[in-house]
Every structure is written in structure tokens, then in C-alpha cells.
Amino acid sequence: MLKKNDIVEVEIVDLSHEGQGVAKVDGLVFFVENALPEEVIRMRVLKIKKNIGYGKVEEYLKTSPHRVEDMDAAYLRTGIADFGHLAYAEQLKFKRKQVVDNLYKTAGISDVEVAETLGMAEPTAYRNKAAIPVRRINGQLETGFFRKNSHDLMPIEDYLIQDKEIDRLINATRDLLRRFDLKPYDEKEQTGLIRNLVVRRGHYSGEMMLVLVTTRPKVFRIDQLIEQLVAEFPALVSVIQNINDKNTNAIFGTEFRNLYGKDTITDRMLDNTYEISASSFYQVNTEMAERLYQTAIDFSELTADDVVVDAYSGIGTIGLSFAKSVKAVYGVEVVEAAVKNAQANAERNGITNARYVVDSAEHAMAKWIKEGIEPDVIIVDPPRKGLTESFIEASAAMSPAKITYVSCNPATMARDIKLYEELGYKLTKVQPVDLFPMTHHCEVVSLLERAVE
């Protein structure tokens, strides 16, 4: 029987959905970081549970032809780019396979073509937002990323998947924090001042926002720090302070203060303009979010007479993208601030036929049925946990001709599609979209059509 610290030669036969190599030894399934299919390794056993184990690579005896050799290991260790060691074309194949496998295993569907994953021409430097911890290492203030499953900071200067201007602003801010001797946060001691730097940048506008997350309100020589940053970064139009004095993993506390410029930055998505605040949810990959939303719009084949329900509508980015080409949009979202943003975004873009309410999606839909609202299309974009059974029943009860499902988790999507099929809908189209290149995350758009009696 294998035990901890044993070293054994294994072949990697698959990847887990989180991108770890999978090996099978003695009836156990082992998960191994930084190991790819077709590789043969000497593996050290780290941990064994009931029928699974965790191992680490001691030596590569044979490497995959798809391995990216010049990958900085820090990206893997922090999980910033947990797929960075796999050639991009293979990442796209893996994501499509995730969707195919989940549809078959969970919903028993194998007769619907899953399209090739839509990818990026340049799959790095795409993130328009960064949240970077600030800590002391070897007596010096550093910015970087936590090692996976820990709170040990690894200093990083080039974050690979973040907009390069964001990286430049983080590094410049770090240098000034050092120069002004502002103390980094110490989690164990609950001391220090600067906890995190959060940076946002408009993909099209180039406008930048810096949020300094601090443990207390007063920041010594903050005006000089801002003055120097604005001189170096003319696109920095907003500097915000967030005060978070709690012992928590949450990045933001409840209090925001404007230190310089505007409260928001502005950017565009599919011909609409959006104001983005420090705490707004806004897709971090603008280019691929546009392709994701455009896919959902194309699948829905919307016409000028259509009434569309936009469930989990957020700040309105999907619904407002097509509002001008349909009769009416009804949006529902549980987060009140997001609904206010959606209403403001509709007004900003001259859209008068979109109505947004704060409610659970299933409750809102039950109300709309009573009001006689009959949607032709329902578009859903739920969180990772997918839809509730009551939502699926309520949406099917409105009997739209089409349900367009935008998912960030192929497993819960497949589970939900199975329920929709039991309620008289048929899956007809599936398109994976790579919103998060270099990571294991996979987005997918599916079209369900009401079976004609």
C-alpha cells in the first residue's frame, strides 16, 4: 500500500477540471500540480484520502509535446494562470471537452454538436481589473499574489494575464509606498496600513482607477503619492480609498472615500457606455465578454417584436446590448446596487424599453406571469452554482420559445439543462467561449428551444 512520501513512477492520463494532472495507481486516483497528459513522472505521494490522493512531481521522465517550457512557475503556484504551462490551442480543446463530458455524464446528451471554443488571438494581458495584496517580505513592502491555498505572498511584477498598464501602475504605487514608508498590512499581528491595491482600466477608454484598501482612514502624505502617480499616469482619473479594519478575507470594507478625480471610470461594451465604480461587477475580459454576449444575442435570433427577460441581469450589460432591437427587456437581479446601475446605464444609453427590478428571479417571473407578460426569450446568466429548481420551473412556466443560458460552470449548466429537457425544452446549440485564457475557467452559451407539440 502507498503511503505519504513514497516515490512512484506514474503516467498522467487526464486533467481534472481544475487543471491538475490525473494519475491512477493501486486503485487510487492522484491529482498532481504542473503535470500534463502524456507525461511520465516520478511522483512523491503528499496525501492519501479514501480513494484519492495528491502527489507532486519529483522528476519528469517524459514531457508533453504541449508543455509550455518557459512558463514562470509563480503563475502556477499562485493559481493566477493555472493553465499557463499548457499550449493555448490545447487549453481551448480542454474547455470544449469539459462541456462535452458534462453534458454526457450529467444530462445524457451526446447528439448536440459542441462548437470549438472561441479563443483570443492574444491570450495574455486581458484582465481589466486587478486586486493585489500588499505585505512585508524580508523587511520590504511587496506586491504580488498569494501562493495557492495559503496567505504567503509571492512577489510578482508581471502578472501575465493583466493589462500591462495595470501592472505598471501597481509597481509604481508599490515603489512610492516604499519611498513614503507606508506600512504594509500584517495579518497575524493585525497591524500595518496598506492591505490591497485594486486597479481597474477601461479596455476602450484607457481610463484607470486605483483603490487603496487601508486599515484606517489617515494615510500619511497621501496627496504627494497621488500627485506623483497622476503625473506618471495621465489616464489615472480616479483614486479611491476603501477602509477595511476587519480581520477578514474580503478585500473591501463598507466605507469608500474619493481621494482624487471621479468616483467611476467609463468604458464601452457592444456600443453602450458604462460607468464602473470600485465595487461594480464588470466582466474582467472586455473583448471576450463582447463575444460571449454577442453569441447569446445571435443564438436568441431576436426580432423587433420580442419581449425578453434578462434574469440575473447585473448592471444590465447583456440586456442593454440588444434592448434597442427588441420590443421590451425585463431585468431582475437580487443586488440592489446593481439594479440601480442597470437603470442608470439604460438612461445613459438612451434606452427606454428596459425595466429592472430588485427581486429573486423566480419571484419576479411569477409576478410577471400574473401581469400577463409573455416573454419570447429568457436569457439567464447565473452564478457558478447555477439555477434553482424553482427558477427552472418558473421560467419554463412562462413558456418562452427560447431559453438562452450563459454559464460560467459547465457542470451546473448540464444539471440545469437536464431539468429543462424534462420540462419540454430541447438543447439545440452549444458554444464554449474562453473568457479566462490561461486558467481552468470555462464559459459557455447554450440554446434551449421549446419542443413544438
In this structure, what are the phi and psi dihedrals at residue 118, rounded to the nearest 5 degrees? -75, 120
Q: How do residues 32-48 score in pLDDT, each as one tens digit?
A: 999 999 999 999 999 99
Q: How do residues 57-114 score in pLDDT, each as one tens digit?
A: 999 999 999 999 888 888 888 989 999 999 999 999 999 999 999 999 999 999 999 9
- Any long-range contacts for 316-319 (C-beta under 8 Å, 24+ apart)? 316/341, 316/342, 316/343, 316/345, 316/346, 316/354, 316/356, 317/269, 317/270, 317/272, 317/274, 317/282, 317/283, 317/289, 317/293, 317/345, 318/293, 318/379, 318/381, 318/406, 319/354, 319/379
Determine the pLDDT at residue 77.
Answer: 87
Question: What is residue 384's three-state secondary structure?
Answer: coil
Q: Which CATH class is domain 129-271?
A: mainly beta
Helix axes 389-397 and 361-370, enclosed angle (nearest 10): 20
Q: How do residues 6-29 score in pLDDT, each as one tens digit?
A: 999 999 999 998 889 999 998 999
**Distance from C-alpha of 49 to C-alpha of 44, rounded to nearest angstrom:** 15
In this structure, what are the phi and psi dihedrals at residue 309, rounded to the nearest 5 degrees? -95, 130
Q: How do residues 330-357 score in pLDDT, each as one tens digit?
A: 999 998 989 999 999 999 999 999 999 9
Per-residue confidence band for 453, with pLDDT thresholds at 50, 70 and 90: low
Average pLDDT over residues 154-180: 97
Per-residue confidence band for 315, with pLDDT thresholds at 50, 70 and 90: very high
**Distance from C-alpha of 279 to C-alpha of 381, rounded to nearest angstrom:** 19
* Bridge partners, 443 (sequence order): 433
Average pLDDT over residues 225-240: 98
| β strands within 278-397, DSSP E | 307-311, 328-333, 354-358, 377-380
| Secondary-structure percent of the chain, ordered helix, strand, coil, rounded to 5 | 25, 35, 40
Answer yes or no: are the C-beta atoms of 439 and 82 closer than 8 Å. yes
Determine the pLDDT at residue 442.
Answer: 95
Determine the pLDDT at residue 149.
Answer: 85
Average pLDDT over residues 137-161: 94
Question: What is residue 91's three-state secondary structure?
Answer: helix
- CATH number for 92-121+285-450 (one of 3.30.460.80, 3.40.30.10, 3.10.580.10, 3.40.50.150): it is 3.40.50.150
Q: How do residues 54-66 score in pLDDT, each as one tens digit?
A: 999 999 999 999 9
Active site residues: 408
Is CATH 2.40.50.140 correct for 7-67?
A: yes
Average pLDDT over residues 405-424: 97
Average pLDDT over residues 230-239: 98
Domain limits, the chain: 7-67, 92-121+285-450, 129-271
Same fold, 7-67 and 92-121+285-450: no
- In the chain, pLDDT over 70 holds for what percent of residues? 100
**Distance from C-alpha of 350 to C-alpha of 353, rounded to nearest angstrom:** 9
